[in-house]
Amino acid sequence: MSIDNLYQEIILEHYRHPQGKGISLENGVEVHHVNPSCGDEITLRAAIMDEKVGVSYDNTGCSISQASASMMWELVHGKPATEVLALEAEFLALMQSKGQGTDEDESLSDAIAFVGVSQFPARVKCALLPWMALKDALLQNLRSNNE
Regarding 111 and contact with other proteins (CB under 8 A), the answer is no
For residues 42 and 133, the answer to whether their CB atoms sit within 8 Å is yes
Regarding 2 and contact with other proteins (CB under 8 A), the answer is yes
* Least gap, CB of 3 to other proteins (angstroms): 5
- Residues in contact with other proteins, counted by CB under 8 A, come to a total of 19
Q: What is the residue type of 134?
A: L
* Least gap, CB of 14 to other proteins (angstroms): 14
Regarding 71 and contact with other proteins (CB under 8 A), the answer is no
Q: Return the residues of window 17-46 that contact other proteins according to CB under 8 A.
A: 37-41
For residues 143 and 136, the answer to whether their CB atoms sit within 8 Å is no
**Long-range pairs of 104-108 with CB within 8 A, sequence gap ≥ 24:** 108/75
The helix-helix angle for 9-16 and 63-76 (nearest 10°) equals: 90
Cα–Cα distance, 65 to 119 (Å, whole number): 15
Q: Which residue in the set 13, 20, 120, 132 belongs to the binding site for other proteins (CB under 8 A)? A: 120
List of residues contacting other proteins (CB under 8 A): 1-3, 6-7, 12, 37-41, 60-64, 120, 123, 126
